[in-house]
Amino acid sequence: MVKKKILILCGGISRERLISLDTGRQVAKELKKNHYKVKVCEPDNNLLKNIKLFKPNIIFNALHGQFGEDGYIQTILETQKISYTHSGVIASAVAMDKVISKNIFIKNNILTPKYIKLDQKENSKNIIKIIEKKLKFPIVIKPINEGSSVNVYICNKKNIIKNLKKLKLYNQILIEEFIPGREIQVAIMGKKKLGAIELKPKRKFYDYEAKYNSNAKTKHIIPINLDKKKQNEILNIALKAHKIIGCRGVTRSDFKFHNGKFYLLEINTQPGMTKLSLVPEIAAYKGITFIKLIEWILKDASINR
């Protein structure tokens, strides 16, 4: 059987560049091991030229963050009329924007932390009063359109102004109520509820370091220690979010579990495929090897063109 030609798109200019390169490398290595013809390239000025010369059957989108996960590159790929992996233009854009996606969750009765959208041009001197009126400390601040917990801070009254200054490059910031409790993440594979994993970071929360630094020693617990009813509940919420956003392929939804309730933080349309990534780990627990997972993603891309 002649194996398909796969162009892997990774790197980019977002703050998740290194993670994207790692995902691209590991996917490429696995595909080459299984006799696929593979080309790895950046989303630079040579992208369209590379597509034209290589003539791939499918593009594996291994980009993370801005310009790769937010509908931008998907729009360019649509013009080439070539199948590409993961979600399409609209679903990618919606999922990447934390305010838009949270509003969709709320309208569809999915519990998510309360929030304030802050325009950085506003006077930050009043921000403490605004927070105390609408939320309560501690709170979480984060960019509206970044992934991998990039520039996410848990804040109290004393450090909120200092931490906001760290995010001065962003025009808009999400200020969210801090939900304590257990960190649980759920993988969806098309219409299938793949499974869930619990994370116990030694750091304050599951931030960038906890995700990608092997020395951070985050404990991964699978299967999760919840009764059957609660397990089904969180899986059903993740599948519902996947559907209402209009996602395809594989997604990973991030939850907090507190006082018997699941709070959906966000949905990731292009979860990582590194050695420390959660979707491959959940898939492996369910008996799906890394290559089988990749092949399913490729097949899903070709079916859903």
Q: Which residues are catalytic?
A: 16, 148, 212, 252, 254, 266, 268, 272
Report whether 40 contacts 8 (CB < 8 A): yes
Alpha helices in the chain (DSSP H): 17-33, 47-54, 72-79, 89-96, 98-107, 127-134, 160-166, 208-212, 228-245, 278-285, 290-303
Rg over CA atoms, the chain? 19
Long-range contacts of 46-51 (CB under 8 A, 24+ apart): 47/9, 47/76, 48/76, 48/80, 50/7, 51/7, 51/80, 51/82
Q: Both tokens of residue 36?
A: 């696929």
Mode of pairing for the β-strands spanning 5-9 and 58-61: parallel
> First vs last Cα of the chain: how many Å apart?
23
**Helix (H/G/I), strand (E/B), else coil: 36:** coil
DSSP state of 68: T
Residue 138: burial class (beta carbons within 10 Å; 0-12, 13-18, 19+): middle
